[in-house]
Structure 1
C-alpha cells in the first residue's frame, strides 16, 4: 500500500474525515461542570422556598419585633424600615442580597445576628450527628451484609426484625425509653444536657465540639463527662439510622448476590468472603453512598426531637425554640442552613459516584 493509499484509507466512504471523540479528561470536566452549574440554580430555588415560607407562615415579623401592644405608627414605621411594604419580587431580591452578603438578620429571641447563633449551636448538632452516623455505619453495614449472605436463616430473620423495630419506633419514644431505663432506673447514664454543671466553663471552647475541645485541653474528667452525656442521644439516633442502613444494605446485597458474575465467581471456586467483599460489596458502594449521605443529612437537620428530649443545645433545639417564639429570622436562617447541608451532601455523593463507579466517569 502506497502512502497515498494509506491516507485515503483513513477517510470514511462518505468522504468526510472521522470525528474524533472527546478525551476522557474532557468528558469528565464537562460532566463535573454540569454538576457544579446546577448548584447555583438549586441554591436560588432554596432561597425562594425559604422566602415564601416566611411570607406564608401566619406570623407577622413586625409584631414579633415590636410586640403585640405597640402603637400603630410604630408598627407602620417598622414595616417601612424592613421593606415589607414593597412588592414581593423586590422583597425577594433584597432577601437574596442579604443571603449573599451573609446577613440572615437578627434574632428577636437572642438579639444576636442569626449567623452568630447558628455558628454557636451548629457544632453541637454536628458532633451528635457525626457520632451517630459513624456508629450506624459501623454496625448497620455489616449487619446488612450478614443478613444477605444468610438469607432465610434465623440470623436474617433476627436482623430484619431488629431493623423493623428500630425503624418503626419514633425517635422520641426511643429517647424517652432510654432516659427512663438508663438514667432514671439503672442510673448508668447522666441526665439530659451536654455537660454536668460541675464541668461547665472549665474548658475553653475552640471548635464548639465538646469532646474534641476537652481532649485537646487534656481535661480527661470533662472529656469522660461529655462522652457520657453524648452516648444516649447519639445511641438513639444511631439505632434509628442503622436500622434503615442495614435494611438497604441487605436489599442491595441480595440483588448483587443473584447476579451472573457472582454465580460465575462461585463456579470458579472463589471464597465466599472474597466474592462478598471484593466483588458484590464494591458494586453496592455507589447506591449505598446515597443512602449514607441522605441519612447523615437527615441527622443534621432531623435531630429536633432528640435534642429537645435530651436538652441538647444544637441547631434543632434552636430551630424549635425560635419557631415557638415566632422568631422568623432565626427559623428561616436555620432552614436555609439545613437546605445548604442537603445540597452539599448531594454534591458530595455525586462526586463520590464518579470516583467509585468507572461507568459514571
Structure 2
C-alpha cells in the first residue's frame, strides 16, 4: 500500500472509531445529569416558581417526556450543534462558548507552552543523566508538579508573587481599564489587542496570563518530564546512537539530534491526551484566578444547580477532547509511519 493510501486508510479508521467514542461520551454525560431525582427545572427553580409555572417550564423544555425520548432528542440536538439553553440566565450554550471560549483557549494554549518549555528540557536532562542527583531532583519536581492540587499551587503563586513580592497581578484577564477599552471582535482578548495595535494592553494581558498559565502548565509539565526522560533513556541505548558515537559525533549532538528527536514522537501523541487534563485543570484555575472562561461558567452553573448549563458545557468539553485527540493521532501518523500500519 502506498504512503498516501495507508495514511488515508488510517484517517478513515480513526473517523469511524470516533463515532462510537462520541456516542459513549454523550450517553455518559446524559446519564450523569439524570442521576439525581427529579428534573433540572425543579432542582434549579423549584422553590421560586408556582406549581403551574413550574409545570409549564418543564413542558417547554421537554422534561415531562420519557427518559428515552429526552435521550434521543438530546442526541439529535448535539448532531445539529444545539447544546441547550441555561435555566438561570437563559443563554444558549453556543453563545457562552463564543463569549468565554476565547479566554479558556488562551489559558490552555499558554499552559501547554509553559508545560513544553519546562517539561522538555528537564526531561532531556533527566534522561541524559539517569540515576544521578539532577535526575532525582527533576523526577521529584515532576511528581510534585503533577500531584499538587491546581487550586493550591494557584493560591501559593498568588500569595508569593502577587501579594508578598507584588510582581504580577493576582486575578482576572487584564486590568479594568484595558478590559473596558479593548475591542471585542474575536472574543480573544490578546488577539483583539494585537489587531488593534494596543501594545501596552497586550503587555498588561500577558502579565495577567503568567500566573494562571504557569499554575496550569506545571500540572502537565510533570507528564512531559517523565515521558521524555524514559524515551531519551531508551533512545540512548539504541543501535543508531551507538553507531553515531562510533562515527565520532559529539555527545551533545548525539543526545540532542538523535535521542531527543526520537523521544518527541510519543510526546506528540500524549499532547492530545493532555487536552482533557488541561480543560479539567482550567476549571479550578479559572476559579482561583477569576479568569472569565468556560471553567468559571461551569462552576457557576454547578453552584446554581443549572444542570442544562452543566450538561451543555461538559458535552462541548468532551467533543473538543475527542477532536483534538483525532488531530493529534493524524499528525502522529504523518510523523511516524509505523503508527498507520
Q: Per chain length, whose mean CA-contact separation is higher, i.e. which structure has more relative contact order (CA < 8 Å, sep 6+)?
A: 2
TM range (shorter): over 0.9
- Give the drift of 1:176: 0.8
1:32 aligns with 2:11: yes
Asked if the contact 2:275–2:321 (Cα under 8 Å) also holds between the matched residues in 1, the reply is: no
Aligned to 1:3: none
Deviates more, 1:266-275 or 1:222-231: 266-275
SS of structure 1 residue aligned to 2:86: coil
Give the CA deviation at 1:117: 1.0
Alignment partner of 1:235 out of 177, 200, 214: 214
Q: For residue 96 of structure 1, what is the aligned residue in structure 2?
A: 75
Q: Taking structure 1 as reference, are residues 89 and 149 closer, same or farther at Cα in structure 2, changes over 3 Å only?
A: same
Partner of 1:182: 161
Map 1:15-164; keep pairs closer than 5 Å: 22-58=1-37, 60-64=39-43, 66-164=45-143
Comparing 142-151 with 157-166, which one deviates more in the overlay?
A: 157-166
How far off its partner does 1:245 sit? 1.1
Question: Secondary structure in 2 aligned to 1:200?
Answer: helix
Shift in Å, 1:64 = 4.4
Query: Matched residues in 2 for 1:24 and 1:196: separation?
Result: 52
Q: Do 2:232 and 2:263's aligned partners in 1 also have CA atoms closer than 8 Å?
A: yes
Deviation at 1:146, TM superposition (A): 1.4
Contact 1:64 1:108 in 2 (8 A): no
Q: Separation in 1 of the partners of 2:301 and 2:318?
A: 17
Unmatched segments (≥5 aa) in structure 1: 1-21
What is the Cα deviation at residue 343 of structure 1?
A: 0.5
Q: Are 1:317 and 2:296 matched, yes or no?
A: yes
RMSD: 2.0
1:66 Cα deviation from its structure 2 partner: 4.5
Structure 2 portions without partners, runs of 5+: none
2:250 maps to 1:271: yes
User: Partners in 2 of 1:293 and 1:300 — Cα distance?
Assistant: 12
- Name the residue aligned to 1:294: 273
Q: How many residues align?
A: 340
Secondary structure of 2:180's partner? coil
Measured against aligned partners, the alpha-carbon deviations of 1:253-301 in whole angstroms (never above 9, x if no partner) come to 1122222332333233333233223332332232111222222332133
Given that 2:41 and 2:87 are in contact with CA atoms closer than 8 Å, whether structure 1 keeps it comes out as no
Matched-pair contact (CA < 8 Å) for 1:172–1:305? yes
C-alpha distance in structure 1 between counterparts of 2:172 and 2:2, whole Å: 56
Q: For residues 301 and 213 of structure 1, what CA distance do their matches in structure 2 show? A: 26
Corresponding residue number in structure 2 for 1:257:
236
Render the CA deviation track for 1:123-160: whole Å, top value 9, x for unaligned.
10110110111121122111111111112333223322
Which residue matches 2:181?
Answer: 202
**How far apart in 2 are the matches of 1:138 and 1:243?**
12
Normalising by the residue count of structure 1, what TM-score does the alignment of the two structures yield?
0.88
**Structure-2 separation of matches of 1:291 and 1:29:** 22
Shift of 1:327: 1.0
TM-score (norm 2): 0.92
Question: In 1, Cα distance between the equivalents of 2:234 and 2:196?
Answer: 49
Bigger mean CA offset, 299-308 vs 124-133: 299-308
- 1:130–1:296 CA contact under 8 A, matched in 2: no
Q: What residue number does 1:173 align with?
A: 152
* Cα distance change, pair 260–328 in 1 and its aligned pair in 2 (3 A): same
Q: Per the alignment, in what secondary structure is the counterpart of residue 316 of structure 2?
A: helix
- Tell me the SS of whatever aligns to 1:56: coil
CA gap of 1:251–1:93, structure 2 versus 1, over 3 A, is same
Structure with bigger gyration radius: 1
